[in-house]
Structure 1
Amino acid sequence: MVAPAIPELTEDVIHESIDARTDSLISLRELGPPDLVHLLKQSVRTPAKQIGVYHHITGVDASSSASLAAFINTLTNREHGPSAQNKVVEGLYCCYNAFSRLDMRVHVTIPGSVESYCVDERGDRRKATDELWLETYLCSVIRAYSYADDGSGETIRKIMGVRRFNPVTNTETEHRFLNAAEQLFFRGWQLGSDSVVQVPNNVSNHLTAGLLSYFETTGRYASGINLFEKLRTQNIEVSSLLAKLLFMGNEEVKGVRVLHEALKELPMDYVMLDTQAEFLLKKAQTADSPELKDECLRMALACADRSTVAAPSEFGTWARLAQVYVAMEDWENALTILNSCPMFTYQDKDTPQMPEPREIHLPTLPETRLDEIDSEPESRYSEQVDPNLLNLRAATYKGTFKQAYCILTEMARKIGWDQLLRIRSTVFVMEDEYRTEKQETTGQSGPTNRTASTDGLRGTPDPTTNGDQTDEEDGAVAGEAKSAEGDAAAVNGDAEAEVEAGGPTSVEKPSHTIDPGEVKSDAENGNQSDEHLSKLNNKRLCERWLDSLFMVLYEDLRVYTIWRTQMAQYKAQAMQYRKSPEEWEILGALAERLQHTDEALEAYRSCLALRFSPKALTSILRHYERSKSTRDTVAAVIRLVTWQYRWYSEFSPELLHVIRSLIEDEGAVKVRSIIQATSLPQNVVDLTHHYAALCATFRSSGTDG
């Protein structure tokens, strides 16, 4: 299998990329950035002329200095030949060890020696030991999965010039990986965790997430079950991971039994309770009868409710409880619980902080040549996009806010926007009613010791403790709400113009809930009475972030309604509705956020009819998977694999998982035949054959032998 091409970023000052990486070590908080490969090149004709080039990389074997030195040698060999104008005289490989917070480095002089050392956060050199290399190797594998692209190209576009390799290509490397994971498993919390987990622990961290991703991608469930069985003897908490793996491998009875036995010993382990709730919720969604669905939801509610008691500061437990209430169609409780979710600031992955390169060289391998893909970059940057589509704030949501927004959009899809607003006004104290009640009671009663937050709004968490927000964060969220309102007002203005022209129907703009800070201020100033409070006795204060989410959802719905009505008008008049590919891509993402699947597919197909878009094709691929359309799935995967390889990524866990699932359902022989039967060039087809060969190497279900 041919290796991806090598991108090159040329330094303005030699070694400036290495210095920048050293300076950034103190600010790293997660798994660290991708590995850095730096080469010093010397002109063949004028040896005094040297340049520094670099690129980033993931998935290289970082188990020892020898393996990294060997990799650098493979890069230098590419420069040799009769037509070479430069030769590599030095190479440096940098790989971050997130356990010990050290940057492991291997310096190769050509010809000459190999030196390995590590650099700490202060920039001081330290000796590289075998224990440090073990940590570094495990970090490199987890980072390869963490920084892998899902096929959509979103990850690839974040960092320029990253080569991505598969860190585990056979059973031998799998054994080394799992052995390292077993030795360092109970230090995994040191690596941090996903942004929706407040406090990393033994079973919720980047290491466990990487392990689960690996087992799901490759289908090597037996190896994972064996690993977690051994680790469970040391700590019963690992039962939650074992159960998740058993559920993935369709051994549900064993998984339920594992959780049942473990919860006898740790009845308040929130991860196990949440795992139970998630399992029961999925069972309810696929239940054959209403009675079975109700029973599953009843049990899921008990587990989810108990998990919020066990971990009140974790977002995931509250979000799961809200999802259960949504499935039960208990809208008021769903909104109340969503309001109680503790929200965290999103912490993105560590990315390289590099100075502006003097030159950028992004070569293309002949093996990745495909006309529809090659034309994508040129057309992409010449497209005009409606500013209203660019300003949709929901598209930027990540972490806890993205998940909370997803729950809110699910409610809107099921009951409609108007009904959601009515429930909102039933659950929360609205600004207009608060002011009305306040005016009616002014002067009727003197100050009392009772306050809105402790009496009239019983059960409402203190707004400063719910989500553990500081005053500064409160101000930021309030600013977001005002910004969202402003953006929505702008969209509203455009919509009104459309209506005048016979355009879309209106979407009711949500009124504001009362600011918790104002209620608190009024209470402190003695401006409330018992009569006033009694009328709002069963209502709660809405968190500022949730109020902002309603405004953002209104903004999305408004733009969506305009689009769909305009489409209907053009269709009625037998006219073509024109948008640029970028606009179609944004509209597809908008419909997808609002959970309108058919409309999203329509927009994405319109985008692909104009130019290639990995994001659009990835979303359509998910539809093909759900509908079991094997040939369409294969055709989409071939194009996505080629696009990934075009941008130096030979490894995407999601695309490998799609191929593996196809082979399990249809058999390896049939899938290979479908791949080969496409009318695409053989060099492109071979790239996808490589993924199928990986499944055979791991002896996945459906492969020969």
Structure 2
Amino acid sequence: MSSDVLHGTPEVIEKGTGGFAAEARQRHLTNFSGFGPPDLVCISKHWRGVVGKGVTQGYFHFVRGIKAENTASISTYLGRLIKHGLEGASWYSGGGYKIVSAACRSYNSFSKCDIVVKVDVPGSVSSIALFPDGHEEETSELIWKEAFVCSVLRASEGVGEYPLYPCLVVFQPLDSLLDEKNFLVAASEIISRWPLVGSGRPGLVFGDNPSAVTPATCLVAEALFRYFAQDSRFEQAQKFFEIEVGGKDVELKYFACRALKELGNFSSARSLIDTVVQECPSSSAALVMSSQLYLETGQLDAAFIEAKKAVQVNEKDTLAWIHLANLYVEKGDLVESLIALNAAIMEPPALDPFLRELLPARKRMTKPLPNTSGGTDIIRVLAKRLHEERIGPATGVDESLAELSATLMTDPEKQAYQVLVKALNKFGWDEILNARSDAFIMEADISHLSEEQETSTEQVHETDEEKKQEAASSSHEHAESSVDSVAYSSPETKYSEVHSSPGKDPSSSAEANGTEGQTENVAAKENQVQENDFSSVKEDKVREVGGSSEQRILKNKQMSLEVYSSRGHKKKMCTPWLDFLVNNMYEDLRALAIWQAEDEQMAQNLRNTSGTSTSNTSAQTNQASSSALNNQNATSSQTSQRQNGDSHISQSLDAEQIAKQTKRPPVDWLRRGELARRIQRSSDAERAFRIAIILSSKNAGAEKSATVSPWLSLLEMYAEDGFASEALVAADAVWNFMDSHADRVSTSSFTPPVPAVRRAIFKLVHKHGLHKIREQVMDKRITINRHRIQSVLLDAVEWKVSGYDR
């Protein structure tokens, strides 16, 4: 007798005969974006008891990495499931299960349909293309090429991990260079259909007048470049985009320029991008790349010319506006930088209604025996663990760290946020607020106009002086409660000032220099500007205009305001997303201030306990911090060095000392590390992650203890900065966790490497060369599993990672 548990594969148990997941997928087929969700596998199992007719039960799970090249490739996976069969039932079972059919649905994002392959037991296989309206077509050669490209790019993009789809099984779709060759050939043969998948550059297709998507600006091209870049295979990327597809569309050579830039070959990249710009003068992507190359070589004026051309030829290109804002920060013009950011279009985050509908079904799942999945569970185990660690325990955590809004930013918002962080480190928090006040009108400051204009159908009169005073008062209250109001009190830390420049010790500054008074003066200046804004509201009549109510109100607002900046430019409305980013920065700085106050208190306690030695060390550290702060307005090169080297948190205590004194759980330090990384405080981030690791090791049995998350973060940081030995130790720690929590292939003594480990080691090979990394692996001073790391280095040679031959 057999149980209903599929050998090595967990499943969600459906109600009755099943069909719920397939029906939900069919309903949401038109809502799928990008490359769609992972493949859905539905299995029907028949229960037959000792007596009676029996019943049929439905089950489903998700798969990523099936090479959807043809009917045979998908049916092979289904046949393997049937062949491995079901686990044995208990001896007292009154009956058993058997598989009667299995079906796989793989999304084709080019043709917007599902490829459905069904296997009936015994003996029949069928495949169709099922469209959203329910009609079916035979699978053609073109549809299979599209499905093949989609399946590989889904795996490369990590679809189904964040958020995690239930019972996700993951394979590597391309096992050899021959498989990759077939994939790239299929992709190049359908290049004319790439734009059907959608845009790969944010802002182009958002709004009422979307820009035309070309092969170079589509998601497929971006995903193909990331396919090479995430494994540091830039030579292959250059060859593919310059030779194999660049001849069909010249603009695609832009990606070859990106590869050359990553390889440090700026002269070849400049020559190639000049050709692309000459033949495609309306390509904003190519113009931005040209500007970036000028910036890399120190030609700021030329970079500005190209960046301004980019936003002129395509004002919807969000990345072009972000790059222009970054150039203005380099130039030292913060106001213009904010204006450029404000012009960018930010799309709202995409939702997944299909996954949301499936989530309640996760309550009933099968549990296969351990050590039976053959390594297909590593992604599911890691993703689930990372999610649990970031949530943390139910009690004892700092909710203010858990609720930081910056953790909700989309990828384009993160890029814009980094421009603000760069401005923060160069100019300071006060200057950002002053520049925002000089550049924009805030929505909340004129929100009263909406109510007045909605109630009026013909005319709006603004002649009552009391209304002006009321508006100014409302603006003053808003300034005190918004991100501009930076004075606050914390009962935990007795810390009441974050309005100073990042890195400044606000508590000591307030005592010595009266920083609170300075803060009040800044707020008063902003309120004065806002009052002047309202005093300039026209008192003449404003006629209604046609259109919808929302459009009329917005237009009336802008027409009714004649507010000018200090440069004589008419102020624009600050977009909600930019205001959101500034608010995120305020929250981050407030959390950073609390962190700094706690560290200072710990250092003071240690000085009181240890005596003069620790006091001298602390004095030297404070002197170094003071020296760094005195250079706050130095040149941009000095600023860059300070960002990468100096800490804005007291470093008189190391991770071990803080771990002994802190009462915070590991998840708080994990979140502080992520906060420090977000605002480019690398040394603070490293120390916070190490504190989380130390605390987790002391509570190894604690549920959801932050064990693997800080190691993964350290791995990314060390690999990005080129610290080889530290990155290898972090990679080994992550691998140790996976060996103890995930299944391995029966023929191997360790689990397969998760993508993060593989990519980090490949990045080290790219930065230092294979020979040097091999020397680091064999270094006796570090304790790692050398056999495992060497297996990844062999992969680096096989797949010709950049640097494998040196």
Q: Normalised by the size of structure 2, how large is the TM-score?
A: 0.70
Q: Quick one: distance in 1 between partners of 2:532 and 2:561?
A: 18
Task: Select the residue among 123, 126, 132 that pairs with 2:134.
Answer: 123
Residue 585 of structure 2: aligned partner: 553
State yes or no: 1:34 paired with 2:38.
yes
State the partner residue of 2:221. 208
Shift of 1:433: 11
Identical pairs, percent: 22
For 2:145, the equivalent position in structure 1 comes to 134
In the aligned structure 1, how far is the partner of 2:121 from the partner of 2:726? 49
> Alpha carbons of 1:301 and 1:50: their partners in 2 closer, same or farther (altered >3 Å)?
same
Deviation of the 1:158 alpha carbon = 3.4
Contact in 2 for aligned 1:195/1:347 (Cα 8 Å): no
1:9 aligns with 2:9: no
Output aligned runs, 1:143-162, within 5 Å. 143-147=154-158, 155-162=161-168
Counterpart pick for 1:88 among 99, 105, 110: 99
Contact persistence 2:197–2:220 (CA under 8 A): yes
CA distance in 1, matches of 2:201, 2:479: 24
Superposition deviation, residue 407 in structure 1: 1.5
Which 10-residue stretch deviates more, 8-17 or 490-499? 490-499
Counterparts in 2 of 1:250 and 1:534: CA distance versus 1, 3 Å: closer
- Aligned match for 2:678, one of 593, 602, 606: 593
Distance 1:162 1:430, change over 3 A: closer
8 A Cα contact 2:41 2:105, kept in partner: yes
Deviation for aligned residue 1:179: 0.5
Question: Do 1:195 and 1:399's aligned partners in 2 also have CA atoms closer than 8 Å?
Answer: no
Which of 656-665 and 373-382 deviates more? 373-382
Q: Which residue of 2 aligns with 1:104?
A: 115
My pick for the range that moved more, 375-384 or 581-590, is 375-384
**Matched residue of 1:159: which SS?**
coil
Aligned to 1:470: none
* Distance in 2 (alpha carbons) for counterparts of 1:607 and 1:534: 47
The residue identity in structure 2 corresponding to 1:674 is: V
- Give the AA of the match of 2:305: A
Q: 1:434 to 1:485 in 2, by over 3 A?
A: closer
Report the RMSD for the aligned CA atoms in angstroms: 4.4
Number of the residue aligned with 2:657 = none
Map Cα deviations across residues 51-86 of structure 1 (whole Å, 9 max, x no partner): 322221211110011111111122223335767964
Relative contact order: is structure 1 or structure 2 higher (C-alpha 8 Å, sep ≥ 6)? 1
Q: How far did 1:208 drift?
A: 0.8
The 1:193/1:609 distance shift into structure 2, 3 A limit, reads farther
Q: Equivalent residue of 1:90, what SS?
A: strand
Q: Is the 8 A contact 2:288 2:320 kept in 1?
A: yes
Q: TM-score, normalised on structure 1?
A: 0.79
Q: Compare CA radii of gyration and give the structure with the larger one.
A: 2
2:572 match: secondary structure: coil
Q: 2:397 pairs with 374, 377, 385, which one? A: 385
Residue-by-residue CA offset, 1:668-689 (whole Å, 9 max, x unaligned): 7964983898867x7xx77655
Indicate conservation of the 8 Å contact 1:430/1:514, yes or no: no
Deviation for aligned residue 1:704: 8.4
- Which position in structure 1 is the counterpart of 2:290? 276
Q: Which residue of 1 aligns with 2:748?
A: none
**Equivalent residue in structure 1 for 2:344, among 341, 344, 353:** 341
Aligned-pair CA distance for 1:653: 4.7
Aligned equivalent of 1:472: none
Give the structure 2 partner of residue 403 of structure 1.
Answer: 415
State how 1:428-467 maps to structure 2 within 5 Å.
428=440
Change (3 A) 1:222 1:620: closer
Q: Does 1:498 align with 2:494?
A: yes
How do 1:631-670 and structure 2 match up within 5 A? 631-641=725-735, 646=741, 653-664=755-766, 665=768, 667=770
* 2:252 match: secondary structure: helix
Which of 604, 607, 611 is the matching residue for 2:692? 607
Contact 2:483 2:586 in 1 (8 A): no
Aligned to 1:584: 669
The one-character-per-residue Cα deviations of 1:176-226 (angstroms, maximum 9, x if unpaired) are 110111011222111113472423321122211121112223444444334
Residue of 603, 621, 633 corresponding to 2:715: 621
SS at 1:138 equivalent: helix
Counterpart CA distance in 2 for 1:693 and 1:434 is 63
- Give 1:360's match in structure 2, choosing from 362, 365, 376: 365
SS in structure 2 at match of 1:356: helix
Within 2, Cα distance between the matches of 1:251 and 1:136?
A: 35
SS at match of 1:360: coil
Q: Distance in 2 between matches of 1:109 and 1:531?
A: 72
Distance between the aligned counterparts of 1:307 and 1:221, measured in 2?
A: 25
Any conservation in 2 of the 1:9–1:361 contact (CA below 8 Å)?
yes
- State the shift of 1:334 in Å: 1.5
Secondary structure (helix, strand or coil) at the match of 1:39 reads: strand
Q: Distance in 2 between matches of 1:672 and 1:169?
A: 28
Distance 2:30 2:443 in 1: 46
| 2:630 alignment counterpart | none
**Residue type at the aligned position of 1:655:** V
- Of 326, 329, 332, 2:329 maps to 326
- In structure 1, C-alpha distance between the alignment counterparts of 2:715 and 2:98, rounded to whole Å: 44
* Alpha-carbon spacing, 1:695–1:523, altered in 2? closer, same or farther (3 Å): farther
1:386-441, Cα deviation, whole Å (9 max, x unpaired)? 22222221211114333322211221122211232233334345899999xxxxxx
Cα distance between partner residues in 1 of 2:80 and 2:775 = 31
The gaps in structure 1 that reach 5 residues or longer are 150-154, 285-292, 436-446, 448-480
Question: Structure 1 residues 351 and 430 mapped into 2: Cα distance closer, same or farther (>3 Å)?
Answer: closer
| Partner in structure 2 of residue 22 of structure 1 | 26
**1:271-304: CA deviations, max 9, x gaps?**
11011122333x25xxxxxxxx3xx222211111
**For residues 521 and 250 of structure 1, do their structure 2 counterparts lie closer, same or farther at Cα, with a shift above 3 Å needed?**
same
Aligned length: 639
Unaligned runs of 5+ in 2: 1-6, 91-95, 206-212, 448-458, 460-476, 498-504, 543-556, 607-659, 697-705, 744-750
Matched residues in 2 for 1:70 and 1:668: separation? 40
Aligned to 1:69: 75
For residue 116 of structure 2, give the secondary structure of its aligned residue in structure 1: strand
Q: Distance in 2 between matches of 1:304 and 1:500?
A: 41
C-alpha displacement of 1:122: 2.0
Deviates more, 1:331-340 or 1:306-315: 331-340
